[in-house]
Structure 1
């Protein structure tokens, strides 16, 4: 598998607080990885560094062979790195379909067929005419994921995509992400705290602690790891954390 994203020995300080401390992470073309770790460990900082919202103090950030350091966020987005934030960034007064139409403007594949594909992927085809603001919380999250996918990312960054969801919405989001990964084929990097979601997603998991990646493996491997248990406050297993 060809390496798509390569983060190597990245450092980032905020007034003496080391948010990235020799941070290294690689992600292959089309690979999916879930990133876990305690609050304040640097997960969101990693996303900000990769997207250009923050500039690294030192180290290397490369995407498909391109040096990301020094590039502006819009330049990085044009390379195919796109991010979905925790809070849905939709147009609540516009119908669901028009939200996607706005996202498709300027793309090479505007049109009804592509619009219908995105509606189907987001499980919102039967709600295409409803105002986006009337959707349930989980559905708003799915709509924004579809809006990001409209731009055909090579790397999709998902920041706590199940935040605030019901158990049923979380289960549906697992199915949606697995489906889009299989159908779209882009690489996906997910930050998540819901360990039931992480388990069900069924992809490799990386543990971040104090600004660096300390463990990487399957859910089962990390579940049995003493450091992971320590980081999650001595919980007997990850699902109870």
Structure 2
């Protein structure tokens, strides 16, 4: 049985700079992976390639047996690949509840079965009728995470979900992502620089350098790897 996401020999150049250099990665259905690496190593480009924001020059990019090459972002989203960017993409003039309803497409089944649960998981039950624009930064991030989940993804891409958060908000985000992964079973790829967050998330980790995945394993395995220490962890 093939993996949910299969990437092999993926290449992308920007004006002579190779952002993806023969990148290889395989992700099973329901698996969670943290993608780490220094700034400029190609992590965001990788998300752009998966989601269709940019087109690959060469290589295999396949989701559940179907090639993503040549598909538009909306077509990829319809296949079940949804993405959260670093900056919260909420609708500030709408209430928290209205944001979730919009993300769910107004489907009655989501309203009845999932809305209250998603609000609870995001610690926003008592903020449901508040305008989203007045939420604290961490609350906005949590709202957008559950908004993306309301779209029923099979693969959820999270780009630095704890960016700008306090330590308490970061800990709450770890709990939220773990709860969502356990309850809904979709696959996750999380880009993150906060090594405390990566450790607490307790999932597989992949190190990216110069457009390639050079190491994969548990956090414990990678934190003791000389290459990882030199290239990334040692820079903290």
Report the secondary structure of 2:109's partner residue. Answer: coil
Question: In structure 1, how many angstroms separate the alpha carbons of the residues matched to 2:123 and 2:152?
Answer: 18
Quick check: 1:53 aligned with 2:16?
no
Say whether the 8 Å CA contact 1:2–1:29 is kept in structure 2. Answer: no
Question: In structure 1, how many angstroms separate the alpha carbons of the residues matched to 2:132 and 2:55?
Answer: 34
How much does 1:126 deviate?
A: 1.1
How much does 1:178 deviate?
A: 0.4
Question: In structure 1, how many angstroms separate the alpha carbons of the residues matched to 2:108 and 2:126?
Answer: 25
Partner of 1:185: 185
Partner of 1:38: 38
Q: TM-score, normalised by structure 2?
A: 0.97
Say whether the 8 Å CA contact 2:110–2:150 is kept in structure 1. Answer: no
Partner of 2:205: 205
Say whether the 8 Å CA contact 1:107–1:151 is kept in structure 2. Answer: no
Question: In structure 2, how many angstroms separate the alpha carbons of the residues matched to 1:139 and 1:174?
Answer: 13
How much does 1:157 deviate?
A: 0.2
Report the secondary structure of 2:61's partner residue. Answer: strand
Partner of 1:238: none
Residues matched between the structures, number: 236
Report the secondary structure of 2:4's partner residue. Answer: strand
Quick check: 1:157 aligned with 2:157?
yes
Of 112-121 and 175-184, more deviation after overlay is shown by 112-121
CA deviation profile, 1:167-199 (whole Å, cap 9, x unmatched): 000000000000000001000000000000000
Matches within 5 A, 1:217-232: 217-232=217-232
Q: Structure 1: any 5+ residue segments left out of the alignment?
A: 236-240
* TM-aligned CA distance change 1:107 to 1:80, over 3 Å: farther
* TM-aligned CA distance change 1:107 to 1:23, over 3 Å: farther
Report the secondary structure of 2:39's partner residue. Answer: coil
Q: TM-score, normalised by structure 1?
A: 0.95
How much does 1:106 deviate?
A: 4.9
Partner of 1:131: 131
4+ aligned runs moved over 4 Å, structure 1: none
How much does 1:214 deviate?
A: 0.2
Matches within 5 A, 1:1-241: 3-107=3-107, 109-232=109-232, 234-235=234-235, 241=236
Say whether the 8 Å CA contact 1:84–1:145 is kept in structure 2. Answer: yes
* TM-aligned CA distance change 1:222 to 1:30, over 3 Å: same
How much does 1:2 deviate?
A: 5.2
Question: CA RMSD of the aligned region, Å?
Answer: 1.3
How much does 1:129 deviate?
A: 1.1
Say whether the 8 Å CA contact 1:21–1:212 is kept in structure 2. Answer: yes
Question: In structure 1, how many angstroms separate the alpha carbons of the residues matched to 2:7 and 2:45?
Answer: 13
* TM-aligned CA distance change 1:42 to 1:129, over 3 Å: same
Report the secondary structure of 2:69's partner residue. Answer: coil
How much does 1:133 deviate?
A: 1.1
